[in-house]
Amino acid sequence: MRYLIVGCGRVGSALAKLLDADGHEVIVVDENAGAFKRLGQKFKGHVVVGTGIDYDVLKRAGAQTADGFIAVTNGDNRNIMAALIAQRMFKIKHIVARIYDPPRGQMYRELGVQTVCPTTVGAKLIRDVLMEAPWDTLQAFDFGSLTSLAALVGPDDAGKRVSEIEDAGRIRIAAVRRSTHEVIVASGDLVLREGDELNAIVAPEAISEFAQRFHGAAPHAALTA
């Protein structure tokens, strides 16, 4: 897959390195050429100096052939503008924009732009730490109407296949990270091992069920969209 990332700050550079390590083609755009130092010497992708809200810059970065687009600059307006250019001018199907202002999230989702709000997610995690909710084996990230969950496989589910964990339309296992740090794209026949980390996309009505299975008790409302 070919991914275009606008913004090479802490999040953008970390995401770029993760996708690059997973074998994807990654192009990173940033106005500051010095920001690319965050990518490190092992980064095999490409970099483009320029603003992510400039059509010509995005075209030079190969937006017309990108499978996914991520906008993670420090400004909400720039991220949304870049995302809309990617959506409407380059027809990129998978687009995610980071925003810090929670009320904007729903409005942008109605425009067809998926948003991730660290303000909301961070506040929910902090609240649950205060309430002593156990987050050592279960983490949540808000993606609008769906939630991305990460959970550890315990002895009860070790030896089961991914297809035995999934529930069509409600729970989908996207990837499995092994203790050796090997990341595997999940297939229905993959046999799980104790200690595997599951990365799942879960519908709101199945969150409690998923949390109960892998955590012992359903988390609080922090897991809802």
Q: What are the pLDDT digits (tens) for 107-156?
A: 777 777 888 877 766 666 566 556 655 444 445 555 544 566 778 888 88
pLDDT at position 6: 98
Higher-confidence residue of 213 and 82: namely 82
Every domain of the chain with CATH number 3.40.50.720 lies at 2-116
pLDDT at position 115: 82
Rounded distance between C-alpha atoms, residue 204 and residue 180, angstroms = 31
Q: What are the pLDDT digits (tens) for 60-117?
A: 999 999 999 999 999 988 999 999 999 999 999 889 998 888 777 777 777 778 888 7
Share of the chain above pLDDT 90, in %: 39
pLDDT at position 12: 92
The domain made up of 130-223 has a fold known as Alpha-Beta Plaits (3.30.70)
Strand residues in 99-211 grouped as ranges (E): 114-116, 138-143, 146-152, 171-177, 183-185, 197-202
User: What's the chain's average pLDDT?
Assistant: 80
H helices then E strands: how many in the chain? 7, 11
Give the CATH number of domain 2-116. 3.40.50.720
Rounded distance between C-alpha atoms, residue 146 and residue 141, angstroms = 9
Judge whether residue 49 has pLDDT over 70: yes
Every domain of the chain with CATH number 3.30.70.1450 lies at 130-223
42: its two tokens? 């092992």
* Stretch 21-47: mean pLDDT: 95
pLDDT at position 67: 95
pLDDT at position 102: 76
Contacts of 39 (CB under 8 A, 6+ apart): 8, 13, 16, 17, 28, 45, 47
Least confident of 120-129, 173-182, 199-208: 120-129
Predicted TM-score (pTM) of this structure = 0.61
